Amino acid sequence: MGEFVRLEVEDGVGTIRIDRPKMNALNVQVQEEIRACAAEAAERNDVRAVIVYGGERVFAAGADVKEMAEMSYTDMVARSGGLQSAFTAVAKIPKPVVAAVTGYALGGGCELAMCADVRIAGEGATLGQPEILLGVIPGAGGTQRLARLVGPAKAKDIIFTGRFVKADEALRIGLVDQVVADDQVYAAARTWARQFSAAASFALRAAKESVDRGLETDLETGLEIERVQFAALFATEDRTTGMRSFVDNGPGKAEFQGR
């Protein structure tokens, strides 16, 4: 457990909780603590799904600008890879991941939210990539993940202008997937995550990897990725359990063991 980021586990759901008052600024220490929590969530068998959460007030208002302002070109050359890979560690958790977005998710906060598979935002949430207003561009995946989520034209508009995106627009363009009352964000994220507590974990892992890796390549290669993952699941106990249960009892009644 880090000073500002911790992994809380209950009923098969792991919550990566960022708690650095007042605005959860994502300095180097927080980035590395996020990486550590993501690695722990990925490894623990009692974690079947993950929530990324910054608390009731704010998800993460962005990188620690005071820290970055003191960094030179060579400093950032040395750090930029670690910045990206810390966030990518969340994207690569081989389990369903949902970002519970309250308040501001700006700059690095928006980039972190986009590392999740699904984003649930409060009605008062505000997202955006305002780095251009600081004379830089998004550096933790914003130019790439945003374009993949909302398309290049909308991504360029948001990045070029640095403007803020309210929850209703974010839902309309696909930047978030659900909008709920501000005080229901974590509960909604937990409801989404808990549906996987007894799911076939290796099948979920294969599905996530197939989609994510397939998006990075051409259709033919993506289909081959899917084929290999599909065939590999026939080596799991859960596949045997699921198919036998379907034949004997119908769909949706299998009790999986994650093996």
Give me the residue spans of the domains in the chain. 5-194, 201-249
What is the DSSP pairing of strand 97-101 with strand 49-53?
A: parallel
d(Cα 170, Cα 186) in Å, to the nearest integer?
18
33, 111, 209, 220: the active-site residue: 111
CA nearest neighbour of 193 among 87, 99, 54, 55: 99
How many residues are given for the chain?
259
Residue 40's pLDDT is 97
Residue 77's pLDDT is 92
Residue 159: phi and psi, rounded to 5, are: -75, -45
pLDDT higher than 90, residue 154? yes
The pTM of the whole model exceeds 0.85: yes
pLDDT digits (tens, 9 = 90+) for 61-79: 988 898 989 999 999 999 9
131 labelled catalytic:
yes
Mean pLDDT, residues 188-211 taken together: 95
Residue 195's pLDDT is 94
Max intra-chain CA distance, the chain: 65
Residue 18's pLDDT is 97
Question: What CATH number does the domain located at 201-249 have?
Answer: 1.10.12.10
Instruction: Of 14-18, 101-105, 132-136, 251-255, give the lowest mean pLDDT range.
Output: 251-255
CATH architecture of the domain covering 5-194: Alpha-Beta Complex (3.90)
8, 40, 131, 216: the active-site residue: 131
Mean pLDDT, residues 117-145 taken together: 96
CA nearest neighbour of 203 among 223, 246, 227, 232: 232
Q: Per DSSP, which regions of 26-180 are E strands?
A: 49-53, 97-101, 104-106, 118-122, 126-128, 164-166, 178-180
d(Cα 99, Cα 91) in Å, to the nearest integer?
11
Q: Is 90 in contact with 52 (CB distance < 8 Å)?
A: yes
pLDDT higher than 90, residue 42? yes
d(Cα 5, Cα 180) in Å, to the nearest integer?
25
pLDDT higher than 90, residue 163? yes
pLDDT digits (tens, 9 = 90+) for 74-93: 999 999 898 999 999 999 99
What is the DSSP pairing of strand 118-122 with strand 164-166?
A: unpaired
Q: What is the mean pLDDT of the chain?
A: 95
67 labelled catalytic:
no
